[in-house]
Chain A
Amino acid sequence: MIANAYELIVNILTAIGIYEPVYGFFQSFGLEYLLRIIIVVVEIVVLLVFVLLSVMFLSWLERKMFGWVQSRYGPMVTGPHGLFQPIADGIKLVGKEDIIPASADRWIFTLAPFIIFVPALLVFVPLPFGDTLILSDLRMGLIYIIAISALSPVSILLAGWASNNKYSLMGAMRAVAQDISYTIPLALAAIAVVLYVGSLSTVDIVRAQEGTWFGIIPRWFIFMQPLAFILFLIASIAEMGRIPFDFQESEQELVAGFFTEYSGMKFAMYFLGEYAHLFAVSGVVVTIFLGGWTGPVLSPIPVQITSLVYFIIKTYAVILFAMWLRDTVPRVRIDQLLNLGWKIMIPLALLNLLVTSFLLTARVI
């Protein structure tokens, strides 16, 4: 039984016949752990490249879709239909002057953009991209994901404070207030699913969604927990700080929020972090509510490939929904945001949790 991507790589290497001699070579020096480290580094590099390519594609897709909604073309010049626009933007941003304000806290100001990228990347560790395509199947994977995404306000507050700018600090304060209010319904909505599955492991949650009802409807938790799905989706979009809830960077009031003072490569890090976060959160939504990598098995093709394709299709569906939402609705007011979070979403999540636990205790579902 293969549990994660590490064992998958070892199995593939063994099947080709490379693993044994290489392992023997490392063993002759007494350095077996070096081989393990190399395999893990390869995994991380593959994941990083995949995430960065996705992020570049997403930034193109977002601009393109925004253009279509507004009867525009979107980027068209660089490459076919502007597909290489993110590369051009990246080159431009690297070439820009790296400005640090005179009264800023230099160390924190420099570190904050990199700290913000870390939670968005760490979420990918227990995220199953496909059958066995998972870096590490943590036993408390879901709690890990929620805890890691609750880390991002720290870096936002660091950036806002270190900039020594009133707009940055106000944006950061808003972001923190928003993230804290919306982490609670996020966790409560996810716990309803966890109650049903009986495990916090993301792989177990996906496995519980295999199969269908009546041969047609897939056993996804979106059909079993529709209210939890809606709450989780709204809370994740609010946690990302995307447009209906983008108080941290509301342009009309706060210039650009917590990254007002950033330029060049540091600004690009925020940009990358935002889209990596979008991809990660969509992946989490797919894993918990949309059946993860489950789907019809096509026997001649390896299950790893089909499951990866299913996962990516579902993730992009969620991402496209988030972009569609961004193109459609205006920003809510800050009091509406907090009212929605504390007065509507948390009671609804608690109610959902109550009903779910009651039904589970009564063994109805």
Chain B
Amino acid sequence: MAWISKNWAMTGIIKGFIVTLKHIFHIGNRPIVTVQYPYEKMKLAPRFRGRHSVDQDACIGCGICESNCPNGTIRIVKYNGRWFPEFNLGMCLFCGLCMDACPMNAIKMDGGYELADYSRESLVYGPDRILFKKEVNK
């Protein structure tokens, strides 16, 4: 048998047939791994970098994120009498340097990934769309 399996070209094909058959009937640990995306979403990795959000109490409007951004995505704008970053996500490469550089840990990148839009203007996420208020544990 060993000689046959070594010298006969059909062995590989037959083995392949068995493997695909096992996949068809999900024998062994062969589940369906894809998800039905619009109806069912994948669980994200814990440190997945999505859209930015800014803690409105922690942010001091210092502009360090602006100077650290490699693509010039961030602009500091005035909003409700205070200074906050504004993200032009059309230019953002989601490197996370703004998040790392922030001295107050105010920037989080947990805002999701479905960011496609109809115009360039709507890709600019101003403070009105990214600010969140941290809930204090009682």
Contacts and interface: CB of A to CB of B under 8 A. Distances in A.
B134 interface: no
Contact of B30 (A65, A71, A325, A328): A71
A328 B32 contact: no
A73 B16 contact: no
Contacts of B30: 71
A69 B20 contact: yes
Between B19, B32, B36, the greatest number of chain A beta carbons within 10 A of the residue's beta carbon is seen for B32
B2 interface: no
Nearest to B22: A69
B17 A76 contact: no
Contacts of B24: 65, 68-69, 324
B23 A324 contact: no
Contacts of A68: 23-24, 26, 32
Between B17, B19, B20, B21, the greatest number of chain A beta carbons within 10 A of the residue's beta carbon is seen for B20
A72 B17 contact: no
Nearest to A65: B24
Contact of A328 (B20, B33, B34): B20
Nearest to B38: A77
A328 B36 contact: no
B42 interface: no
Contacts of B23: 68-71
A327 interface: yes
Contacts of A76: 36
Given A65-B24, A68-B23, A71-B30, A324 B36 contact: no
Contact of B34 (A73, A77, A329): A73
Interface in A322-336: 324-325, 327-329
A327 B36 contact: no
A328 B31 contact: no
A73 B23 CA distance: 12
Interface in B1-48: 13, 16-17, 19-21, 23-24, 26, 30-34, 36
Contacts of A72: 32-34
A73 B32 contact: yes
A231 to B, nearest CB: 15
B34 A324 contact: no
A65 B21 CA distance: 10
A82 to B, nearest CB: 11
Given A328-B13, A329-B13, A71 B20 contact: no
Interface in A64-97: 65, 68-73, 76-77
B39 to A, nearest CB: 9
Contact of A329 (B16, B21, B32, B33): B16
Interface in A47-76: 65, 68-73, 76
Nearest to B31: A71
Contact of A71 (B16, B17, B33, B36): B33
B36 A73 contact: yes
A165 B33 CA distance: 40
Task: Identify the 4 closest CB pairs spanning chains A and B, nearest first.
Answer: A328-B20, A328-B16, A71-B33, A68-B24
Interface of B: 13, 16-17, 19-21, 23-24, 26, 30-34, 36
Given A71-B32, A73-B36, A327-B20, 12 more contacts: A68-B24, A68-B26, A69-B23, A69-B24, A70-B23, A72-B32, A72-B34, A324-B17, A324-B21, A328-B13, A328-B19, A329-B13
10 contacts: A68-B26, A69-B24, A71-B30, A71-B33, A71-B34, A76-B36, A324-B20, A328-B13, A329-B13, A329-B16
